[in-house]
Amino acid sequence: MKRCGKKHKYYRYCWMTGRKINRCHICSVNLPDAGDRKSAIEAAINSGRSPQEIKQLIRGNNG
């Protein structure tokens, strides 16, 4: 993502509700545990958890 001439790299979770695209910021790519957080979210998606449950999982990780 690029804003104000600077590049910001981060993971985000996106899902659709009807025709609306919802987005939730997971974490910065530069964090030491970024890969672990991303893997946990991918595992939750693959196990069939609902978008609300995944969003709560992300919010719980971010404090």
Q: Over the stretch 11-63, which tens digit does the pLDDT of each residue have? A: 888 999 999 999 988 888 888 888 888 888 899 999 999 999 998 988 885 54
Distance CA 51, CA 13 (A): 9
pTM: 0.69
Dihedral sign computed on CA atoms, order 18, 57, 25, 47: negative
Give me the domain span that covers residue 24. 2-62
What total number of domains does the chain contain? 1
What does the H/E/C string look like for the chain?
CEECCEECCEEEEEEEECCEEEEEEEEECCCCCHHHHHHHHHHHHHCCCCHHHHHHHHHHHHC
pLDDT of residue 21: 94
